Structure 1
Amino acid sequence: MALFVILIGAIGAVRPQMLIWIGPYVPWLLGLVMFGMGMTLTLRDFQSILKHPWEVLLGVIAQFFIMPMVAWLLVWLFALPPELAIGVILVGTCPGGTASNVISYLAKGDVALSVAMTMTTTLLAPLATPALTWVLADAWIDVSFSGMAVSIAEMVLLPVVLGLAAHHFFRRTVERMLPLMPVVSVVTIIFLVGGVVAMGASQLIEVGLLMAALVVLHNLFGLALGYGMARIFHLNSKKSRTVAIEVGMQNSGMAASLAVMYFNPAAAIPGAIFSVWQNISGSLLANYYDKKEEKLKVAAVR
């Protein structure tokens, strides 16, 4: 996925005319990804929140505190112009991304906790994301709280609920389709990134290196601080790495979609670059923990 995201990002930057047509469909593409996420859920998945409420609450607080504050500090330190500042803030205030569940699985983390955190932050997003964006970014640009809340509910919450309902009422049909959903989600995310990059291609040339540096810092600080916060509250290694991945990996497609809808294509650049980078860093992190677990198994056998 990371390789294809990099490839389509490069095409969108160099040949934007090939992908600019995707722009109007960005919100629909995000909705499709969230519908696919909803289809993978069942009502029993919500029991994990009730079984481990403290761990999920800790993860959600970390998600909606660490990433927004790191975004605000980066914007302040680098004195970004409004159109880029709002994009960075949006990335920070969005919920965890669906790719984090896959990365948590590959990293030998706690997948149930990962799914519970993603689900909870996604359900809270219609209130948390516009509220945090309004508080942190209103100094740079006028943010419509109510308008953004409605859009997030339409693009994120409603598709998840519809996907959950489809799984509940049409279980056999949906379960036959589930093996295809990861492929559908990956292809959709790839096109979403390509369309967003194409729309901001002219600005990307001017600010690409700066935004790349900011995105890397944002992601790495999220991973490190998320892990550190989990360890401070005595979560074990598997749960701590899961919290780190959930905090560091954002629903950047949602950030890019909101940027296009409410601001301008330049504001979508941070979200587009974040989509590319987080898949790279997440893959590297999963590879590291996978090898670490293998070494521990070998040592235990000896």
Structure 2
Amino acid sequence: MSLASVFLPFALAIIMLGLGLGLTLADFRRVLTYPRASVIALVCQILVLPAVCLGLVLLFDLPPVLAVGMMLLAASPGGTTANLYSHLFGGDVALNVTLTAINSILAVFTLPLVTNLSITFFGAEAGALGLQFDKSLQVFALVLVPVAIGMLVRARFTAFADRMLKPVKIASAVILALVIVGAVVQELDNIGGYVRDVGLITLAFSLISLTVGYWAPRLARVGREQSIASCMEIGIHNGTLSITVAMGLLGNAQMAIPSATYGVLMFFTAAGAGFLLRRRAVEGVPAGS
């Protein structure tokens, strides 16, 4: 547990610093360029997905700790991986960057709220105190402060920021991998049971997230590229953030199991969604369908 408490927040801080190194104020102003796409994606992220996740949790009748872990995952914003997938499959990457930035800021407020409500609703014993004010401040510090520092560095030293983007991403990936391996070793005897408990629900949640992320904007007549960007942003959650909150702030390894399981599955489900969307484009499906 001490490994996660020390290194997971550190890994997340480095990841958010890397995000900040690639952001400018123009990325936040760009929401005005895509108002409909941005509003729909944000509503899906903040309201629709937690509601969908709650329905799945009740349907699957998960134990309280795993139920809270699922809700924590649902409340997490999109991650930088969404930008990569959007680029690979023809999405509007500029919109992804904008949504990631705004979602990360909103998560500072929505994630503690959803987590505390979930702990109260499900009566989870572990982490029963929830994210109190001081821990909510830690979420604020872990998310916003590194982003702000990265943006400041980019504004003042643009060339240096460009050079540091790749090393920062590599460092964060290495640290995160070490922490996850340590956590897996710690819970090795229970992993089979965890996969049985949350494998199907995390798969369902991933598929629904991707579907909602694409079709909600399409039904509102948002362009295909922006809809693909929304699909990846809504469909790829920042599992690192939810794992950090579960293990680093709430001190509960079991609560991180849904996010860890989802973190493996979503690479495949998001790729599958991307190939399907690319195939639709190649086959010349009409823009409104």
TM-score (norm 2): 0.87
Determine which of 243, 261, 266 is the counterpart of 1:273: 261
DSSP-derived class of the 1:138 partner: helix
Tell me, yes or no, if the aligned pair for 1:97 and 1:250 is still in contact at 8 Å: yes
Amino acid across the alignment from 2:26 = R
Aligned CA distance change for structure 1 residues 125 and 88 (closer, same or farther; 3 Å): same
The answer to whether residue 96 in structure 2 is matched with residue 114 in structure 1 is yes
Determine which of 208, 213, 221 is the counterpart of 2:195: 208
1:235-278 per-residue CA deviation (whole Å, 9 max, x = no partner) reads 12222222122111111111111111214111111111111111
Q: Which residue of 1 aligns with 2:57?
A: 75
Amino acid across the alignment from 2:74 = G
Q: Distance in 2 between matches of 1:292 and 1:186?
A: 33
Q: Which residue of 2 aligns with 1:158?
A: 145
Tell me, yes or no, if the aligned pair for 2:213 and 2:234 is still in contact at 8 Å: yes
Q: Which residue of 2 aligns with 1:191?
A: 178
**Displacement of 1:191:** 3.4
1:181-203 per-residue CA deviation (whole Å, 9 max, x = no partner) reads 44444434433443443343333
Q: Which residue of 2 aligns with 1:284?
A: 272
Equivalenced residue count is 279
**Displacement of 1:78:** 1.7
Tell me, yes or no, if the aligned pair for 2:19 and 2:80 is still in contact at 8 Å: yes
DSSP-derived class of the 1:96 partner: coil
Q: Distance in 1 between matches of 2:237 and 2:57?
A: 17
1:82-127 per-residue CA deviation (whole Å, 9 max, x = no partner) reads 2211111100111111111111111101111111111111011111
Amino acid across the alignment from 1:50 = L
Unaligned runs of at least 5 residues, structure 1? 1-18, 297-302
Q: How does 1:114-153 map to 2 (within 5 A)?
A: 114-140=96-122, 141=124, 142=128, 143-153=130-140
Tell me, yes or no, if the aligned pair for 1:31 and 1:155 is still in contact at 8 Å: yes
Q: Which residue of 2 aligns with 1:47?
A: 29
The answer to whether residue 163 in structure 2 is matched with residue 176 in structure 1 is yes
Which region of structure 1 is more displaced relative to structure 2, 198-207 or 67-76? 198-207
Aligned CA distance change for structure 1 residues 83 and 72 (closer, same or farther; 3 Å): same
Q: Distance in 2 between matches of 1:199 and 1:120?
A: 35
1:178-225 per-residue CA deviation (whole Å, 9 max, x = no partner) reads 344444444344334434433433332222122111110111011112
Which region of structure 1 is more displaced relative to structure 2, 20-29 or 101-110? 20-29
Tell me, yes or no, if the aligned pair for 1:83 and 1:267 is still in contact at 8 Å: yes
Tell me, yes or no, if the aligned pair for 2:28 and 2:102 is still in contact at 8 Å: no
Determine which of 196, 200, 206 is the counterpart of 1:219: 206
Q: How does 1:70-109 map to 2 (within 5 A)?
A: 70-109=52-91
Determine which of 213, 230, 233 is the counterpart of 1:246: 233
Unaligned runs of at least 5 residues, structure 2? 285-289
Aligned CA distance change for structure 1 residues 287 and 47 (closer, same or farther; 3 Å): same
Aligned CA distance change for structure 1 residues 295 and 187 (closer, same or farther; 3 Å): farther
Q: Distance in 1 between matches of 2:195 and 2:171?
A: 29
Tell me, yes or no, if the aligned pair for 1:37 and 1:98 is still in contact at 8 Å: yes
Determine which of 30, 35, 38 is the counterpart of 2:12: 30
TM-score (norm 1): 0.84
Determine which of 13, 20, 44 is the counterpart of 1:62: 44
Tell me, yes or no, if the aligned pair for 2:3 and 2:182 is still in contact at 8 Å: yes
The answer to whether residue 211 in structure 2 is matched with residue 229 in structure 1 is no
Tell me, yes or no, if the aligned pair for 1:100 and 1:245 is still in contact at 8 Å: yes
Q: Which residue of 1 aligns with 2:287?
A: none
Q: Which residue of 2 aligns with 1:299?
A: none
Tell me, yes or no, if the aligned pair for 1:104 and 1:245 is still in contact at 8 Å: yes
Aligned CA distance change for structure 1 residues 225 and 293 (closer, same or farther; 3 Å): closer
DSSP-derived class of the 2:201 partner: helix
- Over the residues paired in the alignment, what is the CA RMSD in angstroms? 2.4
Amino acid across the alignment from 1:177 = M
Q: Distance in 2 between matches of 1:268 and 1:200?
A: 11
